[in-house]
Structure 1
Amino acid sequence: ACSLPTKSVSASCLDTIRSWTTKLAKRLNVCGLMNCQYAITASGDVFLLEANPRASRTVPFVSKAIGHPLAKYACLVMSGKSLADLNFTKEVIPKHVSVKEAVLPFEKFPGADVLLGPEMRSTGEVMGIAFDFSLSFALAQIAAGQKLPFSGTVFLSLNDLTKSHLPAIARSFLGLGFNIVATSGTARVLELEGIPVERVLKLHEGRPHAGDMVSNGQIHLMVITSSGDTLDQKDGRQLRRMALAYKVPIVTTVAGALVTAEAIRSLKSSPIQMYA
């Protein structure tokens, strides 16, 4: 998901991005739109990946978020108008929060894993708008076809690299009234933290297993990350495909799990408002 204004990028990183982008545009003599892609490390280092003198799919999203038709402005500038002529000389920081979410057509490709990589897989984009990030994220998920449950059971299966985040994720959903089920390694971590959890077998460990719970409608949300173990990778892939087939919402990152819990909390406390 993409948020405007940003939720996680620091002010210093934003200043760097603004400065570099301005310098690039001037040095390349760009007139119109320019699309830059940056990467930011956990320590706050900014890296420029690429700069393209063209629009991107983010332009319509940003235009709607700030209330200005950027593609139209770019065409007018390229035809001789100035930004001053268009009364568009300052950065617009909206009071509301807009979240863009990709629409991923995994159900149309039998056998494809829902884990995301660096390649482009989306076939469209949607957006949610509200006055806080959590509700905007929730609305974007609904628009993308991900129906978030208000109650039921959450299945957790995290790899060793992300297990340190398990207690926070589990407590977030427990606080919303959900039950937690988990495979052995994940359950062990939660039990050591005193967090109530029901153990369930992995697919290769026998039956009834996690897949049976999915097909029986006993799991209402899945948080599952990839693992290095061959059997676990195979199990994870099958479970993610089953979640897709049975329309169980699935989250594959720690950050996604935490914000999904907050999104559900927002939906439960804030009724959705419709604007014509």
Structure 2
Amino acid sequence: MEIVYSDEKLVTYLETAVEVDPERPVLVDKYLSDAIEIDIDALADSHGNVVIGGIMEHIEQAGVHSGDSACTIPTKTVSPSCLETIRSWTTKLAKRLKVCGLMNCQYAITSSGEVFLLEANPRASRTVPFVSKAIGHPLAKYAALVMSGKSLYDLNFTKEVIPRHISVKEAVLSFEKFQGTDVLLGPEMRSTGEVMGISYDFSIAFAKAQIAAGEKLPLSGTLFLSLNDLTKTHLATIARAFVGIGFRIVATSGTGRVLELEGIHVDRILKVHEGRPHASDMIANGQIQLMVITSSGDELDQIDGRKLRRMALAYKIPVITTVAGALATAEAIKSLKRNKIEMLALQDYFNLGEDIESTKKSQSVSSLY
């Protein structure tokens, strides 16, 4: 799979990436730009009862494979009306499909608040273990019991559980083990595992998940910032977030010009093909501690951009390739500078009275984070 933004890119993809003939059709879908993706796991019994197990908001935008995207329970930015639509559609789907056991659905929510159903799978998903730990209920065990004839009432699992704590799932990406592989995230899954961070604060939960995934977040230093034309509208927001926590910004001419027009101080550096010193030299000299890069996907990026990202990987410099990931990282670093990470046993999050098992309350809780 690949996301293409022009006719030229589509032609290149068809000529180099796939073999096209009547027995190998190519499916072309419309891509929803700047949309939030939602994963939801639900459980249904043979009596027509349906309970939402968990609603996960992806931190990376729609278009990044769900297995590679970090996600959070409860949701962080989704409106109560969108959550109600998602719950309603999922329940109706499970009943109409006569699901007995687990079902996973994926949705996308546009910036205007329109909800799209991407897919519905009447089976268990890779997110079930994460959701089970986040809500304190063994969904796989429940699914086996309802498939053997038990009802959800027999299991005393009749309402969606909305935990007060925040659980963040993060993908483990082993790019360094595969020579020449680009670190960009896209519609094809690259992760080799998953980790989880829990806290009562989203930014700390996200930071814990990053640490567990082997990502060492710098608390200060220099950020290399390079966004493509499609994401440049978020440039100032990202830059201000990192400047606000003490980072110096370096960028090439195009990105630097946009930041200067926004009144943000930036130190300009040369692109790799423009001469030296450039970003690769700064990486080798230990002058860059963090990189935020969204790929343009053009021919130059496939050469210079890939080389730069691979070099950062070799020097163990964190490379963030999505806007949402950059903002979440800035939030996490800010919290790490102010707070000490506290480790609690998973059971400590599920003391009596800890969970709020009301759909109505879940909407207000979700809007708080």
Shorter-chain-normalised TM-score: which range? over 0.9
Aligned to 1:46: 115
Aligned to 2:154: 85
Deviations 1:116-135 (A, max 9, x none): 11112211111111112111
Measure the CA separation in 2 of the matches of 1:34 and 1:106. Answer: 31
Aligned to 1:236: 305
Q: What one-letter code is carried by the residue in structure 2 that aligns with 1:189?
A: V
The answer to whether 1:225 aligns with 2:307 is no
Superposition deviation, residue 164 in structure 1: 2.3
Structure 1 stretches lacking a partner, 5+ long: none
Measure the CA separation in 2 of the matches of 1:103 and 1:44. Answer: 31
Superposition deviation, residue 189 in structure 1: 1.4
Deviations 1:34-54 (A, max 9, x none): 111222222222222222221
Match of 1:166 among 218, 232, 235: 235
- CA RMSD in angstroms comes to 1.3
Describe how 1:50-61 pairs up with structure 2 within 5 A.
50-61=119-130
Superposition deviation, residue 229 in structure 1: 4.2
Percent sequence identity over aligned pairs: 81
Aligned to 1:16: 85
Aligned to 1:193: 262
Range with greater deviation from structure 2 (163-172 or 247-256):
163-172
Range with greater deviation from structure 2 (115-124 or 59-68):
115-124
TM-score by length of 2: 0.72
Aligned to 2:334: 265
Superposition deviation, residue 56 in structure 1: 0.6
Measure the CA separation in 1 of the matches of 2:83 and 2:165. Answer: 19
Superposition deviation, residue 259 in structure 1: 1.4
Describe how 1:93-172 pairs up with structure 2 within 5 A.
93-172=162-241
- How many residues are treated as equivalent by the alignment? 276
Larger relative CO (CA 8 A, sep 6+): 1 or 2? 2
Q: What one-letter code is carried by the residue in structure 1 that aligns with 2:121?
A: N
Superposition deviation, residue 249 in structure 1: 0.7
Measure the CA separation in 1 of the matches of 2:88 and 2:154. Answer: 23
Aligned to 2:325: 256
The answer to whether 1:73 aligns with 2:116 is no
Superposition deviation, residue 233 in structure 1: 4.1
Superposition deviation, residue 213 in structure 1: 0.7
Measure the CA separation in 2 of the matches of 1:134 and 1:140. Answer: 10
Superposition deviation, residue 193 in structure 1: 2.3
The answer to whether 1:181 aligns with 2:250 is yes
Q: What one-letter code is carried by the residue in structure 2 that aligns with 1:254?
A: V
Aligned to 1:34: 103
Measure the CA separation in 1 of the matches of 2:130 and 2:228. Answer: 34
Task: Report the 3-state secondary structure (helix = DSSP H, G, I; strand = E; otherwise coil) of the residue aligned with 2:163.
Answer: coil
Deviations 1:103-157 (A, max 9, x none): 1111111111111111122111111111121111111111111111001110011
Superposition deviation, residue 228 in structure 1: 4.9
Measure the CA separation in 2 of the matches of 1:63 and 1:205. Answer: 51
Structure 2 stretches lacking a partner, 5+ long: 1-69, 346-369
Aligned to 1:5: 74
Measure the CA separation in 2 of the matches of 1:227 and 1:53. Answer: 37
The answer to whether 1:203 aligns with 2:266 is no
Q: What one-letter code is carried by the residue in structure 2 that aligns with 1:147?
A: K
Deviations 1:222-247 (A, max 9, x none): 01111154324422211111111111
Measure the CA separation in 2 of the matches of 1:227 and 1:75. Answer: 46
Measure the CA separation in 2 of the matches of 1:206 and 1:33. Answer: 56
Range with greater deviation from structure 2 (78-87 or 213-222):
78-87
Superposition deviation, residue 269 in structure 1: 1.1
Superposition deviation, residue 192 in structure 1: 2.0
Q: What one-letter code is carried by the residue in structure 1 that aligns with 2:99?
A: V
Measure the CA separation in 1 of the matches of 2:93 and 2:123. Answer: 13
Q: What one-letter code is carried by the residue in structure 2 that aligns with 1:88?
A: F
Match of 2:285 among 191, 200, 216: 216
Task: Report the 3-state secondary structure (helix = DSSP H, G, I; strand = E; otherwise coil) of the residue aligned with 1:34.
Answer: strand
TM-score by length of 1: 0.96
